[in-house]
Structure 1
Amino acid sequence: MQLKDKVAVITGSARGIGQAIAKRYVLEGARVAIADLDLDAAQKTAKELTALGPGSAIGIAMNVTDEDAVNAGVEKVVETWDGVDILVSNAGIQLVHKIENFPFAEWKKLLSIHLDGAFLTTKACIPHMYKRGGGSVIYMGSVHSKEASPLKSAYVTAKHGLLGLARVISKEGAAHGVRANVICPGFVKTPLVEKQIPEQAKELGVSEEEVVKKIMLGGTVDGEFTTTEDVAEVALLFAAFPTNALTGQSLVVSHGWFME
């Protein structure tokens, strides 16, 4: 087991990509905190994953934009398992508008969840990694960490920002054995993406089928969505990697939608 007895905090993990990563970690022996706004869903997911074993999980409430809530959630994890080894900052939303129509309140909300959330959870977890002599910080980026699409000014800005944050953490954390990486998925058919399909169709004046085939999957090599399991495998790679060789790096998981 690659993560036996490692302690992981995964935000936004009651469902979707975060849940798939949590499941992969538990199967590798980790102890996982399902940190989510929806406590009931987090506890339900934790119970289901614990039943799978060989690792275990707990559900905790966490609003990643609230420093006190983040600190309280991380402290609960430390009280339960005596430390933190892995952080996966995965919580996120998507809001789409043309730039001239983008409400400033929505811009700030999106950036706060993605960027403030990554900052606050890192700030809370990293001292515990330092105490343990090492750890892994993983940010959930996107192909939009590398590329741009219409209607997504806030999202693209946020996802680009995570690359910079990871590089700083890589340099600051190196002396303490802490690595930082960014996973950059293509379109994964989660509720977040499914919500975008009718929104983009309306905004662009095209059919939902065109949004899927041309905009979302037109650039892939096989016309396939990236799966949550694809992303979870990369999250395992970064969390379990034994040296600093990959620190500061990002990996695109997109069926060829974006290549570098």
Structure 2
Amino acid sequence: MTMSMKDKICIVTGAASGIGKAIATRYVADGAKVAIADLDLEKANETARELTEKGPGEAMGVKMDVTSEEQVNAGTDAVVKAWGGVDVLVANAGIQIVHKVEDFPFDEWKKLLSIHLDGAFLTTKAAIPHMKKRGGGAVIYMGSVHSKEASALKAPYVTAKHGLLGLARVVSKEGGEYGVRANVICPGFVKTPLVEKQIPEQAKDLGISEEEVVNKIMLGDTVDQEFTTVEDVAELAWVFAAFPTNALTGQSVVVSHGWYMN
């Protein structure tokens, strides 16, 4: 079995920075063509230039608000026009907002669910017809240990990440005969700006020190008190994208230094 990303056409959402950028970097390094789909077009273009210079693959920037069906469809169409199709979708765009359930503003609940779930749905809906035309493809959702577990203060995030498991399983069932696979990556705490931002917020909400948030809340259940890296996550995203058969579909894999084991 040969696993390669050479010439695969990929869309990665939220790819101008963080985990999304690491995944795009890994794909381009293996010869893929990657659309850096992001709210911030300037940053997306900058990332695309940087990755294309490194090669051997190439990248392009695409403006995409994943909660807008119009923008998702337009962005997908731009990729198809440029490169001829879609082989891989990584629905990675996400945000984090923390409050206790009784204090959670409904607008913020809806905003978070929309970015994580509506975004995954809309990008999948746009990509699947193009994957079918090419005889198959890989849909990859960015879940979380919170697809399996719960933490205080994260009601919509935990709800959304659980929901992605269900969506992946349905896409797997519907896509099987067309060679369209769907899987979920479930990272533990990854040291990204999203997580850095949570440390003081959680310290304030829980009335503990920032050090205690890191060592007890975030890394307390890992085997080695280590954060997962963006490169760890990108490597798994490469496996899901490069794996050539339906043998690996409808699955979720946790990368969390043993925080969650199943």
State TM-score, norm by structure 2: 0.99
Structure 2 match to 1:58:
60
User: Secondary structure, in 3 states, of the residue corresponding to 2:46?
Assistant: helix
Query: What's the CA shift string for 1:172-214, capped at 9, x where partnerless?
Result: 0001100000000000000000010000000000000000000
In the alignment, the residues of structure 1 paired with residue 143 and residue 54 of structure 2 have an alpha-carbon distance, to the nearest angstrom, of 28
> What is the aligned counterpart of 1:68 among 42, 64, 70?
70
Deviation at 1:2, TM superposition (A): 1.1
Q: How does 1:94-243 map to 2 (within 5 A)?
A: 94-243=96-245
Give, as a single letter, the amino acid of the residue that structure 2 aligns with 1:136: A
In the alignment, the residues of structure 2 paired with residue 90 and residue 257 of structure 1 have an alpha-carbon distance, to the nearest angstrom, of 21
Give, as a single letter, the amino acid of the residue that structure 1 aligns with 2:163: G
User: Secondary structure, in 3 states, of the residue corresponding to 1:83?
Assistant: coil
Structure 1 match to 2:251:
249
Structure 1 match to 2:10:
8
User: Secondary structure, in 3 states, of the residue corresponding to 2:109?
Assistant: helix
Q: Which runs of 4+ in 1 moved over 6 A?
A: none
Query: What's the CA shift string for 1:40-94, capped at 9, x where partnerless?
Result: 0000000000011000000010000000000000000000000000000000000
Deviation at 1:109, TM superposition (A): 0.1
In the alignment, the residues of structure 2 paired with residue 109 and residue 224 of structure 1 have an alpha-carbon distance, to the nearest angstrom, of 31
State TM-score, norm by structure 1: 0.99
User: Secondary structure, in 3 states, of the residue corresponding to 1:242?
Assistant: coil
Deviation at 1:245, TM superposition (A): 1.1
User: Secondary structure, in 3 states, of the residue corresponding to 1:124?
Assistant: helix
Deviation at 1:242, TM superposition (A): 1.5
User: Secondary structure, in 3 states, of the residue corresponding to 2:12?
Assistant: strand
Structure 2: stretches of 5+ with no match in the other structure: none
Deviation at 1:243, TM superposition (A): 1.1
CA RMSD of aligned residues (A): 0.6
In the alignment, the residues of structure 1 paired with residue 118 and residue 259 of structure 2 have an alpha-carbon distance, to the nearest angstrom, of 28
User: Secondary structure, in 3 states, of the residue corresponding to 2:51?
Assistant: helix
In the alignment, the residues of structure 1 paired with residue 136 and residue 245 of structure 2 have an alpha-carbon distance, to the nearest angstrom, of 10
